[in-house]
Amino acid sequence: MRLPDFLIIGAAKSGTTTLYKYLCRHPQIYMSTPKEPDFFAIDDIYGKGMDWYSLLFSEAGLQQICGEASTTYTRLPKFPKAAERIAQVLPKVKMIYIIRHPVDRAYSHHVHEIKCREQKPKTTFEEGIKERSYLVDSGNYMQHVEQYLRFFPRESLLIMLMEDLIHKPAEAMGKICHFIGVDDKIDLVQNSLIAANQGHQDAQWFLRSKMTSPLRAIPGAVFIANLLPQGVRDLTYQVLKALPHYRKWGEKQSYLPPQMLPETRQMLLEKFREPNQRLAEFLNRDLSHWNQ
């Protein structure tokens, strides 16, 4: 029975898709399809059992390690059982937790849910965080770190900042590969950055992802696509975008909700100030720019 050797546990809208795509390029790594099985977080999915979960990794090569990337694993208090379940099933698993400015993350998560039709199209950010507290709670990163450290040793968890993945991708990927135990000298960036998921700032990335999802659903398509030159993938996207059906759909998807109110941002900055400081001390890293 094949099970994952490492997990990307979040945070949502913090570059997990970027990281997933980079790791898909590594010959010593097998990533699950779908990217986010949510197995340990959602009760109904966990109820499918280990045989179902292990099938997600059944095609991995003997020399490959396996991973998946479910952001629901760091969504307290909505999914409180994830860490304990992971510890029971995968006590030696390595975990990667990629995080970003928590206020920006919350707004990006809100935009994502609107575009995925999980919220009404004209829901304001203020309405969204009132109705869905996890939009804010998911940004209390230290709360999630402390939850995992109840069940795992510190060396099981690698915490990365999305800004490092964006601005120093080769260095960040080398660190991640070393952490999970694969060759860290392989160039996974390949001189063509995969756009990090930053919500409203990456509307084109979102459209591209949605438009090409039917193609990526074909068995083996993701693997083949990752072997193709970037220019070929770009051309495929441009052809899809020019089709009448996709053009009309894309116009609908381009809607963006209003920016958060200044007073909302200030309120959230104050809410996150103390947990951000604890996280900064834990990481021994300056996070003062998260207070702005």
pLDDT per position as a tens digit, 9-20: 999 999 999 999
pLDDT at 249 over 80: no
Q: How far apart are CA 161 and CA 289, in angstroms?
A: 13
Give me the CATH code for the 6-291 domain, please: 3.40.50.300
pLDDT at 191: 59
pLDDT at 277 over 60: yes
Reported as a single tens digit per residue, the pLDDT across 145-182 is 999 999 999 999 999 999 999 999 999 999 999 999 99
pLDDT at 205 over 80: no
Higher pLDDT, 47 or 123: 47
Nearest CA among 15, 27, 31 for reference residue 227: 27
Please give the mean pLDDT across all residues of the chain.
88
pLDDT at 183 over 90: yes
Residue type, 53: Y
pLDDT at 252 over 60: no
Q: At what angle do helices 203-216 and 230-242 cross, to 10 degrees?
A: 90
CA dihedral 92, 98, 102, 107 (to 10 degrees): -120
Could you tell me the pLDDT band of residue 122, with boundaries at 50, 70 and 90?
A: confident
Other beta carbons less than 10 A from residue 95's beta carbon: 24
pLDDT at 253 over 60: no
CB 74 within 8 A of CB 137: no
CB 107 within 8 A of CB 260: yes
pLDDT at 201 over 70: no
Q: How far apart are CA 125 and CA 111, in angstroms?
A: 8
φ, ψ of residue 190 to 5 degrees: the values are 55, 35
pLDDT at 186 over 80: yes
Higher pLDDT, 254 or 280: 280
pLDDT at 101: 98
Residue type, 196: A
With a CB cutoff of 8 Å and minimum separation 6, the contacts of 197 are 13, 14, 15, 16, 17, 18, 108, 205, 206
- Of the chain, the percentage scoring pLDDT greater than 70 comes to 80
pLDDT at 193 over 60: no
Q: How far apart are CA 78 and CA 218, in angstroms?
A: 32
Could you tell me the pLDDT band of residue 218, with boundaries at 50, 70 and 90?
A: confident
CB 86 within 8 A of CB 33: no
